[in-house]
Structure formats: C-alpha cells, structure tokens
Structure 1
C-alpha cells in the first residue's frame, strides 16, 4: 500500500496534481477541505461539531479533524493506498496519523512537497481568484497571512518527515505535465 502526504503552500498545485496522482497510482484522495464540507453539508455529528468552531472563526481542533479523517480511511478498506491532501498540518496531527496508520499495520510511505516562491504563488492565487470566486484568493494580505500560517505550523512537519527519511521536495514551477512527471519520479523510486 502506498500512503502519500502531499504538501505545499496554497497555490502550489496540490489539488491539480492530486487528481493525476490518484488516477495514476489508484489512490484514495483524502482532502481535509472536502471532508469538512461533506460532513458539514450532511450534518454528521462530526460535521456539526466542526461547524461550531468554524462559525466562531476558530480552527477545528486536531481531535475532530483526525476523527473525520479516520472515518474516511475506514470507509475505504479496499483502497490500494491514500493520498493525504491538506493533512497533516501540525506536528500533533502527523503523530496522530502515524499512530492511526500503525494501528492498521500501515505507515506513511512518503511526503512530497510542491515548492515555489511566495511571489509566484501569490500571483497564481490572485489569478485564480479572478475566476474561483474565493475571497481568500483575491486579497494579497490574506494570501500572505495563509503563507505565514503555513510557515509557522506546517513547515515544521518537514523536519518530522526528514527525520524518518520520508520527505521529498519537488519543484512546483513548470507545466502541469512537467510537475506531474517530477512527482511520479519520486513516487516510482519508493
């Protein structure tokens, strides 16, 4: 089983690349954003709990996020592997994911980070914001705040996975096909 964590700042191309990777490697794509939206829309117990935090503008606590993710993994027992997109975001989430996978005799195979300069990514997001309608993609200050949050909370995970010899950086600049090729080269070498 292949279990991949896909990292990258907003605008790095995670969603685009995840679509190619899930098809090529027959992985179950688990996007925390999609999982949150599904649970909230369907008013699941976890979705209602998450919504109480989100409605106050608070981050959803790790334990709620982890329970949602575990539920999705449990729903896919025949999966050939998982592509974790947007999770883990903190060290405690990474440790909880490792413990959960270990309880299933599984582990993270590799973490792959799509890397690009902030300046290029800001321009990508501002361009995306013209068509996406997402307000967080239309305001440069909000974009830079998201990068600050990433640097503070998610970037430390790189050291966590480097210590396990599971971290791989991939240049996220170029055509979609070029980036897909770079990602595939890393995964194929595992």
Structure 2
C-alpha cells in the first residue's frame, strides 16, 4: 500500500508516518516549509505548491491519502474582542480549503489505485452534538471539513473511493497540550486501524480513533 500524509513532520502526522514506515509500506509525507530527504514540500493553502506536488507525484499510485495538516490559532481569544477576520481566513485556508485542494491535487494518483481511500483528520470539536463552546474558528473549520468529507463520499462513491473523517482523540501534542488523554503513538495506532477498515461500505463515516461512531 502507498500512503501520502500531509503535515507529517510533527505531531499525529509524524506518528502516522512512522507507523506506516515501520510496516514496510511505501509512505510519503509532506511538510509546509522545506523539502528534505524524508518529506516533500507542501503548503496546503498555496495553489502553486499543490501543483508542484501533483507534478512531483505524477504517475505514482496513492492508495491512502491522509489529510492531516491543520492549524488552531484561536486559543485564548475572547468573544468580545478576539477572533479577527484574518484568523478566520487563515484557519479555513488550512483546515478546509487546504484539504479540498490536496484531494484535488491527488485525485489522479488516487484513481491509479484499485481501492482508493481518503482519510480526513477531523475533530469532535466539529460535532454539532458535542458543541463544547468557545474555540469558534477552529470548531467551525472542523464542522466544515466534516461536511466536506460527507459530500466527497457521495460524489466519489461511484468510482469506488472510500472517504472517512476521524477524531484522533485528545492527544498530547503542541495543539492538545501536555495534559491530554492519549499519546501520539496511541492515536496513530488507533487511526491506522480505522483506515485499514475504511471501505466503500463505510464511506462517509465519522469515527473516533478507537473505533466508535461519533455523532454529527
């Protein structure tokens, strides 16, 4: 199996990259800033960068695309005075538009696979049922990408694609903080099991890292 993971140079993305590499599978990872020996360069918000990745990957089948790259800028913002428009724009550019552009860029590669899969790292923060309050920009972006995944699952089903959105858990990363519930390795192991099980029969699913259906 060949896997491409965005935002694979740190956090959950790196744990996933290490996990798939340890399984001996062909694994590509991307990072935003510079290309190195292990990672391809991709700024998911930049059309030229997306085009360059598509050119670099031309002719390479991708069985699993993991859209992991994302940002969370609005911690500590106050309802009365925070959440500036530029923060909304930057967050949606990475967390929503960036996911869509990456899928567009890799469609030709996914279509070379016999069983293409798209896995989007979402969050319970995007669930209307969960609705924790606060974090308005991040929560709205994760709600939007959940909707995006559901719609893509419908449009790509006739081609045999499987599309899933996963909540990775509350993970001890720079974003999740040191008091979070689980380690990056635990999250990655659970997510890999979810992606292994993802199929045309379960396309459109929204699940937790440990296999529980998550309410929308």
TM-score normalized by structure 1? 0.46
Bigger RCO (CA 8 Å, 6+ sep):
1
TM-score normalized by structure 2? 0.42
**Which structure has greater helix proportion?**
1
